[in-house]
Structure formats: structure tokens, C-alpha cells
Structure 1
């Protein structure tokens, strides 16, 4: 497989895709810490891993090379001197450990791990007081305060949402966005991918379209590659308008390597069942998209293009339905909208909760879906879409679908 990145669409044949196989990071927290760690249920890890393996086997069977973020980062540390130290210099501040003694103990624990794959998995899996040797320095109030902590007190939070590799990074063309996440607990995820993109021999040198240290948050689930020159981006709870402004400026007026000529910003409702654009709308074929009917009433959209003056971005509001906006963006005369739950409001609501609209195309007209969304899947099948059906009893508990769990690194052109 070619080195580098190449993603100009949502439906071109998937040739290389990056995932994270859930591990200790998914289960290493108490139930009372779910909200603090940003997770929503007590997962059965063995089943979640089994489902994830079956999911990635479907992708391989469709012709995709599956690469694992944890392996890529370990390879980076193995091959590039100084990359692990640079990673730590960014990772530790993002962990936001206020107690200095505890922070030092975490650093020493991670530094003591020689095997780079074990190091990566430990950094993702989290650490408790009982896992650490806390330094006791005379006159240190931080150390004395640490004595009051219980052994099962969480110090380094695990990263349970990291199997959704779509959000911290977004590949656009031959470069990538390093996103600023909405929940600060997830910002550490970006450092893993940024280290890979800056240093791994297969990806170093790829242009980076967005800096995760930006003031404004944006997430990859809101970024859809319509074609080589067009992006669609959701204005959502997780993606701010100011972030889209900055991204557009970077793409239009940056290094000159960007191919993007227009960005369609589509406003969707704020709600947990539709946190990103790709949870309410995904492309499944040249002229077919899934859609959650609940966005019809709240839709607003804008088109951003390059202005005449240096750094200028022109913005126009677009009138029309989601179908008409997608027809404008794709240049296709007629788009078929396949509704989640086959349009039934009860079924649509239920299956939207389990990401019925969140599909992953592995080729035009061939998509991966969750098996539990039977009504939506039947509607896709009747519309002529070939389905790769993935198990989803455990994986769906994280509130993300097949597209959420993948970050394409290479797609064939369409």
C-alpha cells in the first residue's frame, strides 16, 4: 500500500483504514466515574473485542488494509528517536493531573515501561493510586495531600471513547486535521494521532489542516469528504462555527497543498442521539445518502469559498432541503435520501439511538452497518445497497456506529 494519505470521497473503495481495538481503556473505571471518564455503560470487554474483530474482518474481506493506532504509535517510538519524549511532553499536560506529586508518579510509571506497545496501552488504559509509587518529599504539600487518597482513586483517566477513531483526526485529501475535542477527557486522543502524523515514516510530512491547540473545538464525525474539492461539515454541539471559519481559512489560504474549493456548513440539532453530522447523514453511493428525518425541521446551511483578498473567506446562506443542498454539493441532479427507520418516527428514533444513519462505505453502494438496525438496513437493501452487517450488542453502547469507529487513510478515486 502507498504511503501517506489519500481520501477524496466517502465512497471510494476503502484501501487502508485506521482503528483502535478496545482494551483496558474501555473498562478500567468504576461505575461512579462513568461521567468523569466520558463513557456510558459497563462494557463486556471480551464481547466488545470479539465484535470489533469481526467488524475489522469484514473490512479486510472488502479489500481494506486495517492498521491499528496503537501499533502505529509503538512503531513510531521504535523507529524515531525522541518521539516518545515529545509525546509525553504533550500527553501529560492534556491529562490535567492537578496534584504535582501524582503527576510525577504517573510520569515515572510510564517512563519505566520499556516496551513501546505496552507503554501505549498503559497510557490509554489509565492509572490508579494503587498503580503508582508516589514520591514523598519533605515539605511537599502535594505529597502529603496524596496520602489521603484511596488506592482505588483514579489518577490518569482511561480513554474509553478512543475506539471511535473518527473524532480526534479527520483525513481530508492528502492531509489531516488534528481536532480539538469537545470533551477535554478526549483531547489526549489527538496527541496519539498527531505524533503518528508528525513522525511515523509512512505519514510524516502530510499537511495538517487544523491545530488541536486551537481555541475552537471541531470533531471528525462532523467532516464529510464530498469530493476532492468539496467538504461538508456539521455545525453541531461538538463543532463550532469559529472552528469551521478557521479550517476554511487554512484550507483556502494555507500552504497551497489543499485541493478544497468549497465547504458546506450544515447546522444540525444539538442532542445526544445526533452529536455529529455523520450520525444523521452519511453517503452510501454516488447518488444515495442516509438521513435521519429529525434534521429536516432545523436545517440551516452555508457555503464557504475563497475570497479575493488574502485570508478572506466568502460565506453565503443556502436555502433548500438537505436533499437539495447535497445535490448542490455533489453536482448530482438527483440524490436519493434513505431515511433512518424507513421514515417511521418511532423506528427512526430508536434506530437513530443506535446509529442507524451512521454507515461506512467500503465501495460505492457497499456499506458496513450495525446488525441491530433492522428497519434501516432493510430500507438500504431495498434501495439497492449491498450490506456488510457487523455485530453490535456491545460496541453500540458507546453511541457510535461503523463510520465512527474508523478513520480511512486511503480510498481509491471515484
Structure 2
């Protein structure tokens, strides 16, 4: 049965990709609440949209079909009952304690056309937008007396579509995010993969109802047989146990999961900030992991029971062994310069999106790393990134492949 998904590598020619064009959620960022919303800075929306449009156009020019998160969600609202359930679940997970506010928001969203409603959910709702909804004096007084300006928090991290769910083979993992701030994002994926006619038949490798966190930036599909997952600040080992068990026992191709133990810090937020695949035997890397790394190899034995062994060594040796390569080239961010590497790692210099073997999309600002890629024979497509990079994510973070050709 057609699942609408095919993703068996990081480098197979990209045919269809999911993006989210930044919207009003970025204009609901405030300095006082940046940490709460996982941002370090406030992008200028109009310029961020221009840059994101350039990203989408770059992909289209290379033959990639671009679809947008909002449209997939709208196409998933297949009945009045599904729409009502979507609103109720979204508000249930919003963290709002006051029932009166929930009721006002339900009416507010319920009166909107589908596209406008989904955009408003993503952008968040200011208390001032609800004042016209209430017919009670208390609605005005409570808004005036509480300093917090939002009835519903914005979802500014949404343009990083890599994280809330991941496509693996012909199936999908829908994630429980590390922070409550981002967990509502995965509800969009739940409705897409339960109700959108094009995707509702995709096998489910992991579900957002699990108890421990898993994020898409920690998942790299290295080959049709090998899946890599980062044990990171935002992905827990219990989650990897569950994902590995399901993928290895139910998928048709995957034979092993490599669980990479990476530092639990914001600068190493996900595995794709540590390394990304740019060709069959070439990888960009964070220069701080060039010496040694620990990986746990997870496989099923002849009785279909999980067996795990630990390997410690150089990243290139581990990749050579498990991808059965004669040679591996690691391309360090910033050409190994301490200063250039730190600066360009801050703007995700090693976070690249491969659109074909040896062909990648990169941020123009990371020119030192980009020069290294070209010297290694990689064809690069540069996109503007002055505002997008303020969210601390690169081209891979901003894209969720739905269909790749086999490598």
C-alpha cells in the first residue's frame, strides 16, 4: 500500500520535501520570553520569509517538489468532527489552566476558515486578540492584571520541520519533544499521519504518546540498512530503545541502529549539529568530535532479541565499518580553525541538506566551511541566512524529506 513516504538515505536525490514558511509566530517573540521559547534572538519576519522563499526556490530549481506544513494540516481536516477534535486536542496541550480562556480560544478558532485557523494556532494568540470575543468585564480585567501578554504561546520553532517527526524508510516516527514549548508541534504530525489521505497509511515507528523524548535532528538515515540516532540533550536512551526495536523488527530494510553518545549541551543540540552526510563517503563534522566518539551498535539476534555492543573510536573508522566503505572523508566546520569553526558552528556550518549525492544546500554566511566542501568536490547551493540563522538551525533543520530516490 502506498504510504506517500520513501526515505532510505541522507543523500538520495530529493524529490519531495516538507517546509514551514515562517509566519506570525516570529512576530510574537519577545526578549523577556526568548528562553522559554528556545530562541536566542528575534528574526525580522519579512526578511526571514524572503530568505525562506529563496530556500524553497533553490529546491524547486533542482526539481524538488516543495509542500508546506500548513497545507498538509489543512488537508488533514477531512470532516467537521476531525476539525473539532483537532481544536480540542490543541487547546488541551496548550498548558492553559483557565477554562474561560480555553472556551474563548475554541470559539476564536472555530469561527475561522481552515487555513487562517492553522496559521493562528502556529502564530499564537495575544490576549488583546481575544478581548472582542468575551462579553464579560472580567475578561478585560484579567488580561490587564496579568503581565503575560499571550492567551496562547506562539510556536516559533516550527520552521525547523526536521524535529517534530521523521521519515524513516516508508514509515514515520512522531516525536515526544524534549520541551513542552515544542511538543504541540508534533500534534500537526499526528493529524497529518492519521487523516491526510496521502500519508495516513505510513507505518508508525514511534509515537508522541511515549514517555521519553525523541527529536528528528538526532535521526540520520545513513543507508537503507543503517539508521543513526544521537543520545543527546534532547533524545533519551529509552526512546532509542523503542525506536530501534520497532524499526528493526518491522521495517523491510533496516538491519542496525547506531546510537551515538554526544555531549549533552546546547552547542551539540542534535546529532545533525555533530555531523551530516554530504556524499556516499563524505561528511561534514563539528571539529570537537574529531578525536574519539562512543557508539552503541543495536541489532536483532537470530531470535529477534535486541543485542547491543559498545564501540569507541574515530568517527571515520566507525562510519567506514558500518557503511562498508573503503574510505571516509570528514570535512570539519570552519576548516578546523578554532575561531572560524566556533563562528560558523554557531550558524550551523556543518548542518547541510543533501539534495543528491555530492550536492548540498548551505547557508551563504558559512563561507569558510563552504570553501572546504567545494575543495572536497561537493557541489553547493548557497542560500541567504542572516535572519533564518538566528533560530540556531541550518538547511537540514528546516527540511523534512518525504521522498528520496534510493542512493
Alpha-carbon distance in 2 for matches of 1:307, 1:367: 37
Instruction: Give the Å deviation of 1:229.
Output: 1.7
Alignment partner, residue 53 of structure 1 = 53
> Equivalent residue of 2:173, what SS?
strand
| Separation in 1, partners of 2:54, 2:386 | 12
CA contact (8 A) 1:125 1:159 kept: yes
Question: Is the 2:3–2:202 contact (alpha carbons within 8 Å) kept by the matching residues of 1?
Answer: no
Alpha-carbon distance in 2 for matches of 1:302, 1:89: 41
Unaligned runs of 5+ in 2: none
Are 1:106 and 2:100 an aligned pair? no
Moved over 4 A (4+): 133-138, 142-145
User: Does the 8 Å CA contact 2:29/2:156 hold for their aligned counterparts?
Assistant: no
Tell me if structure 1 keeps the 8 A contact 2:362–2:370. Answer: yes
Is 1:211 aligned to 2:211, yes or no?
no
Q: Is residue 20–residue 69 contact of structure 2 (8 Å, CA) maintained in 1? A: yes
CA deviations over 1:351-407 (Å, ceiling 9, x no partner): 111100000000000000000011100000000000000101000000000000000
Structure 1 residues 237 and 145: alpha-carbon distance in aligned structure 2, compared to 1, 3 A threshold: farther
Quote the Cα distance in structure 1 between the aligned partners of 2:301 and 2:104: 51
* 2:346 equivalent to 1:353: yes
**RMSD between aligned residues:** 2.0
Secondary structure, aligned partner of 1:410: strand
Equivalent in the alignment of 1:299: 293
Q: Is residue 264 of structure 2 the alignment partner of residue 270 of structure 1? A: yes
Aligned runs of 1:9-408 on 2, under 5 Å? 9-77=9-77, 79-113=78-112, 115-133=113-131, 146=142, 149-150=145-146, 153-253=149-249, 256-297=250-291, 299-309=293-303, 312-408=305-401
Larger deviation, residues 259-268 vs 170-179: 259-268
Residue 144 and residue 154 in structure 1: after superposition, are their counterparts in 2 closer, same or farther (change >3 A)? closer
Q: Closer, same or farther in 2 for the Cα pair 1:321/1:199, shift >3 Å?
A: same
Superposed displacement of residue 186, structure 1: 0.5
Please state how far the C-alpha of 1:258 moved relative to its aligned partner: 4.6
State how far apart, in whole Å, the 1-side matches of 2:196 and 2:79 are. Answer: 7
- For residue 108 of structure 1, report the CA deviation from its aligned partner: 1.6
Q: Which TM-score applies when normalising by structure 2?
A: 0.95
| Partners of 2:292 and 2:142 in 1: CA distance | 50
TM-score (norm 1): 0.93
In structure 2, what is the Cα distance between the partners aligned to 1:81 and 1:108? 14
Gaps (5+ residues) in structure 1? Answer: none
- Rounded to whole Å, the distance in 2 between the matches of 1:376 and 1:205 is 40
The answer to whether the 8 Å contact 1:136/1:144 transfers is no
Query: 1:208: how far off?
Result: 1.1
User: How many pairs align?
Assistant: 405
Shift of 1:201: 1.1
- Residue 28 of structure 2 aligns to a residue whose secondary structure is coil
Q: Alpha-carbon deviation of 1:214?
A: 0.9
State the shift of 1:245 in Å: 0.7
